Structures are given as C-alpha cells and as structure tokens.
Amino acid sequence: MSISEQTLTRRGVMGGMAAAGAAAALATGAPAVAAAAAPAPAAFLPADPLLHLLRRATFGPGPSSIAEIRRLGAKAWLDRQLDPSSIADPVADGVLARLPLARLGIDEIRARVAAGTLKQYGWEPMWQLGYAALTRALWSERQLLEVMTDLWSNHLNVTCPSGDVWDSRTDYDTMIRKHALGKFSDLLKASARHPAMLTYLDNRYSTRAAPNENYGRELLELHTVGQGHTEADVKNAARLFTGLTVDRATGRYRYDAAEHATGAIRVLDFQHANTTATGGEAAALALLDHLALHPLTARRIVTRLCVRFVADEPPASLITTLVKVYLDNRSAIAPVLRALFGSAEFAASIGAKTRTPYEDLAATVRILGYGPATSGTKFLESLYGMARDAGQAPLAWGPPNGYPDVAAAWASPSGLLVRWNFHLSIAAGWWPETLVRPASLLTGTVGALPATYGALIEKTAVRLCGIAPTAKQIAALAEFYGKTPASPLKANDPAAGWMYPYLMGMLLNSPSFALR
C-alpha cells in the first residue's frame, strides 16, 4: 500500500501507535475500516514540493519563508538551514533578549542564587526556556535547527519545568542546540554526563552498592537500541554508569570513582573488563560510543526522523537507505537529513503527517505572518498556555519517551476543541491581542476586496492552506454567511470586516491545515 492509502486504514492508524519513534512492526491483522470514498490526504494539500518541504522541515510555512524557498530552491534552502549560524535571526533574538534566564548555565544560576537575585529551586529560568522554545518555533529563521532541537529534546527528554532540574534544564537546552545538527554520538555522550539527565533519570543517585537502573534502562530502551536488550543488559549498563554523578555543592557533572562498580560487564555485543574505578568513566563513554553506532540505534534514530518528517509509518525502503547513511557517516545527522529530504519516499509523502497541537499553534502564527508583541512576554505566556491546554506545552512532557509524534496519539476531541478555539482567537487578534498584525486583516491576507464570496473564500484558503477548498467546502463556508459562492461581496459586508476572522479560523480548522 502507498503511504497515503495506509493512513486511511485503521491498521495504518493503529500501527503508528507504537511508542513514538519506535519501529514496532506490528502485524495486528486489524481489519481496515471501510473508508468512505474519501480522497487521499494528499488531495487536501498543494502538490508543490517546496511547500511540502517547508511544512515538514519547519514549524510551518509563513509568507516570508515561502518567498525565500521560491528564491533559493530546495537544495540551497536546505544547505542554508543546515548551517544555522550563517542565518541572521533578528526577530527571534529581539524576543529572546526579554528572556535572559532561558540561556543561563548551571554556574550562572547558582551565582545568582548566591547573590540573592534568583530564588533557589526557582522555576523562572525553566518557564523562560519554555517561552524561548515557543518564540523560536514561531519566529526564528533557523527553523530546521528548531525542529531538530525539539526532536532531540523529546528523544532525550528531561521534563521542563520540573523541580529536580531547576538549575540544569536551561543548560541542557544549550547542550542539545549545540549538537542538534551534529553527531548523535556526541549528543548522547553529552546528555549522559549532563546534570539534568543524571538527575532526571536518577543516575546521580546510582551507587556501587545500589545501582539505580533508571538511566541504564532508558538509555537502551529509548535513547539507543530500543527493544531487543535483556534485563541483564540493563543491569550491566546501570553498573557501568555508577559514579557518573552530580556534585552536590556545585551542581556540575562529576565522576566519582569511589562509587563506580568495577568488574567485567557485557551489554548486547559490547564487552568491557572494567577493572579499575578510575577507568569507569572512560568505559561508560566507550559503551555510549558503541551504542550510538549500533545498527539498532541507527534504525531507531532514522525511524524517529522519518516519523517526524515523512510519515507515521515510514516506508521500510527509506529506513534501510537512511540506516546506511547514518552508519557510513558515523552518526552525523546532516547527511541523513539531506538524504531524507532528497528521497523519492519523502517526495511521495504529501499529506501523510498530521500536525500535533504544538505544530498547529506554531503553524497558525507563522502562516498568519503575525509578529511578536513589541514588548513584554505576556503574549508568550498566553501562547504557551494555549499549547499547554491543547496538551503539548513545549518541553513539558513528563515520561522519558518524549511527546508522541503520531497522529493517533493526538486525535482527541478535547484537544481539537482547544485548537479550533485558538485558531479563531489568534487570527482575530482577541487573544493574545498584542501580536503585530495587519491593520486590515482582509487586505493583509488577500489584498484587494474580492468580487464574490466564493473568491474571498478561495483566496483566503490559498493564502492560509496553500490550496483552494473543494466546491462543497466553498459552498459550506459561503452559507455560514448566509450567502452562495456567487454572491457579490461588498466592502461593508460583515464577511469583509468584523466577521472575516471567522473565515480565517474555519480555514485553519479545515483538513488542509490539519495535515502537514
């Protein structure tokens, strides 16, 4: 079956429900629901490959990014995105300057506590980090970096905010950004020794006498090889990681040889004599290097990338191709992304992804082209609250597996209600009311006043969804105003004035915007 056919079947939906990112090939034998002759999802989206790339590699197309990719073409656009430091980012930087705590390192947070300017155990840096993540998703020009930072933040999840990582979570984000487009082996080793991860998965409390298995288990099950390891592997990994801890006095990473459990260990096909306590850290890093380049890890990582960028159930052929690219490049991610976005499978996957609540929120603001408020952070708190109410505040997922990335996990009527409500509220400028938007929404969205209701609906849809609605949809939307598509539109009609945001909202609710 093609991807688009698969998504129409219950099997496609259910199969995608394996723990996010895990390639659980399930032969469920579930019966396909007799799909009422619904068109394939691809029919709801524009076929333009540039828009397809924008919908997948960014948090959503916006007027300026559409213009940019048309100017550069796909390859040059992607090259630029893979070199984020070459991209000026004035709009996001301007907002981030209002969130100074979001960038603080562990030492800086503790120094401020010592100086009395920050509360010990306070959550303010973590809240600001959440707002900063949202700011970048909505307004950063370095979109691929943001998407990848989000992906790794979920793959190596450390809940933000959460009390135990009050002094280390912002620094953890800095670490992820540094490696987001680099090598997975570097990212994995940095995360293993980061106080936030050591705290979140309890390895800091793991001792020679009483190894804590939490990190060892998730390292194998979530961060690297996935299924296919044994309890003995978990226990051995946990023993090898004893001694990797956090200095209570400074909050920094520390290797405590006195707490390292020596003795030969075996984890999957990795073996280490682990004879000395002083050599424990090096042995642990050797295991991480081994795991990062393990074929099963390669499969998990590229599957996660494919689930994010291609389809809830990625084509096996693409996974096979990308596993080889990953291993040939010793876990470097940029070559994998180039191969992914250049693949035939990617090109054929239009409509195979559905926006998650957070992607929906970001895509809404981006396609509207509304700018951040000129001062303050209240508007960020409002937008963050919308993401939270829809179930997906950035970085806030509790369990270690990160937010799910498949449509089935988010297909919740109550979540959808929150989304339909924020579409209208944001578009109309009711809440948040301080985003910078055109003086006239109609002029800003479609330019000159269209002659008919049908033309108004079609132009607005093309502007917001990239594609004209079906005749049936246009008729339904005209009827909302008590009109037909052929009804002439007059400048003083409510539909061209105070009731225009309702059209924007309903189009943002439509299947063409729900799909990515």
Residue 503 contacts by C-beta under 8 Å, 6 or more apart in sequence? 456, 457, 460, 477, 480, 495
* Residue 397 C-beta: closest distance to another protein, Å: 8
CB of 69 to another protein, least distance (A): 26
Residue closer to another protein (CB basis): 22 or 66: 22
CB-wise, 162 or 329, nearer to another protein?
162
Question: Would you say 65 or 392 has its CB closer to another protein?
Answer: 392
- The structure tokens listed for 160 are 């933000």
* Residue bearing tokens 């992914």: 340
Nearer to another protein, 336 or 368 (CB): 368
Nearest distance, CB of residue 79 and another protein, angstroms = 33
To another protein, the closest distance from the beta carbon of 501 in angstroms equals 9
What is the nearest approach in angstroms of another protein to the Cβ of residue 73? 30
CB 164, min distance to another protein, A = 8
Cβ 116 to another protein shortest distance, Å: 21
Looking at 230-349, list the stretches that DSSP marks H as alpha helix, in order from N- to C-terminal side. Answer: 231-240, 280-292, 295-309, 316-328, 333-341, 344-347
* Residue 88 token pair: 């000026």
Nearer to another protein, 9 or 452 (CB): 9
Place of tokens 């009483």: 210
What does DSSP assign to residue 121? T
53 contacts 341 by C-beta, under 8 angstroms: yes
Instruction: Give the nearer residue to another protein in terms of CB position, either 9 or 329.
Output: 9
In the complex, what is the shortest distance from the CB of residue 55 to another protein, in angstroms, rounded to a whole number? 16
DSSP characters for 184-249?
HHHHHHHHHT-HHHHHHTSGGG--SSS---HHHHHIIIIISS-SS--HHHHHHHHHHTTTEEE-TT
Please state the φ and ψ torsions of residue 153, each to the nearest 5 degrees.
Answer: -60, -30
Query: Between residues 162 and 452, which has the closer beta carbon with respect to another protein?
Result: 162
Nearest to 490 by CA among 444, 439, 455, 515: 455
Q: Which is nearer to another protein, 21 or 62 (CB)?
A: 21
Provide the CA 502 distance to its chain's centre, in angstroms: 28
216, 237 contact by CB (below 8 A): yes
Q: How far is CA 215 from CA 85, 203, 228, 331, in A?
A: 33, 6, 17, 21
